[in-house]
Chains A and B, each alone.
Chain A
């Protein structure tokens, strides 16, 4: 893998262009066919790949044009899940939760064809993108397994199979997102055990993304999550997290979140550089990957692009100063 120092990447999702949002709605009303929808998903994927190449991102993603919710997408493709009625998350936002109603099984690979398609569009490495077993368990109802642990460990096996298939299809990087991990410190052990099952025997470089939560309660224990890199949301939290690293060094590679994905405002290059500088005080440059705080799907297409441009340009300038 020929990567520059401070490789740039993204957390996974990009905003869907308007034509795709419209097509997804039409598909849900049976107004267009699955094939017609897929053509547009591919078109949007190609546009995002072209954009990532154009601005010079080092490790690409497919942008998840074909996914809705990160947990529901997998639940819909695994056997043993049903999808619930609407549950509120905040304000006027509702989502449907998966319900485990039978033994969870992966009948066919879920993301492999999309990985292959995306990798065929570029010479640069494309990351395989999965949602982790702990998060799928935590964000689902469970009417089948006796305990949370049982469901979580079963999902770990299923996600492992998917990761294996991605690796065989050529994925050099596999990201297994666990945003729910920071929420229940008492279950961190379970999340670690489950990730151990997912990454067991993989040769690919593995990473996990964790969103903001009660980090002081899970740090440094979270460094035991068996992956090569932990990608963290940092900008949203004004980099308070780095203070934790003073107490115990961050021993994994870090995916350094330098863009606040919840804000409409585009960061300046100086802000991004300052964030990288700050991290460099605690973590050697060889261990730092630069990325946004989280998936960018909630931003407008142009907002996301502007933010990413600044991120890549600022990182390039940093590289020069580092020699």
Chain B
């Protein structure tokens, strides 16, 4: 298999044209009681299809469902886990976006698959493999307010078991790529041992899907190379121009597959194709390019949709150039 391209999570829910603002209008109508939840779900399905189509048109090899149904990285999962209530808005890391803080009110329990039907819907609409994306247990635990467990550790382990069940259900449904987002560990590096124990629970006995651990909103300094001990097959992180991670990964051989976030998903400024080609050549010193995924540094929801599309097209075009070069 040669170098492939993907995106690091969500796709912008709306664009600037009227046609691309269906979801915004529908949510507005739903809030006013003018359309039913079923009507709204149909719109969400349609926009999910549109997001997948645009990713494929841009030339990506591995797509996501765009996380069109997700309000924020926490709420969509947590409202389907028994024991959580949601509360007020808090800022999501250093972005100007917000999430509703989940509150742990009682013992957390996984009742039934949360993302499986979304995965099945998306895969049925896609000619490319669909990667399921979900927030990992450590970040959920860290961004929640704990009103139930005596110790953070107990909350963390219960969530690890819950996400394990979800990953297992996605595997059973045929999903071959699963991405777990864990930005919070980069702000709490001293928790690494707990984090490792949690991932031994998450990944136990699961081997059908390739699991990617996505670590963004910071750098791997202090976690690398021990982060390579986490039982996942692929590690994703930011590798935009001059990012600190470029120095960090020099310090030890990279022994996993890599998802390299070379395209900055938080700024509209376009990288040049040449920048990306250079970056990949440099990565060739640390990792096998045969198994490399090139991706955006973050979810694309921080960009307007038109800019997001351009960034994906650039990613695909750089990959094409690189693949061509390796054949000749």
Contacts from A to B (Cβ < 8 Å)? 84-92, 94, 97, 99, 138-139, 141-143, 180, 183-184, 213, 262
Contact = CB atoms under 8 A, between A and B. Distances in A.
A186 to B, nearest CB: 9
A141 B268 contact: yes
B132 interface: no
Contacts, number: 60
19 contacts: A84-B304, A85-B15, A85-B304, A88-B13, A89-B98, A90-B72, A90-B89, A90-B99, A94-B24, A97-B304, A138-B96, A141-B267, A141-B269, A142-B267, A142-B269, A143-B267, A180-B96, A183-B94, A184-B94
A156 B24 CA distance: 36
Interface in B45-93: 71-72, 88-89, 91
Contacts of B91: 183, 213
A84 B12 CA distance: 14
A55 B31 CA distance: 36
B156 interface: no
A88 B307 contact: no
Interface of B: 12-16, 24, 27-28, 31, 71-72, 88-89, 91, 94, 96-99, 267-270, 301-307
Contacts of B267: 141-143
A127 B24 CA distance: 37
A143 B303 CA distance: 13
A92 B24 CA distance: 6
A262 B88 contact: yes
B162 to A, nearest CB: 25
Given A92-B28, A213-B91, A143 B13 contact: no
Contacts of B14: 86, 88, 94
Contact of B16 (A86, A90, A99, A139): A86
B303 A87 contact: yes
Given A84-B307, A85-B15, A183-B91, A91 B268 contact: no
Which of A91, A99, A142, A262 has the largest number of chain B CB atoms within 10 A?
A: A91
A87 B307 CA distance: 10
Nearest to B269: A143
A141 B99 CA distance: 22
Contacts of A262: 88
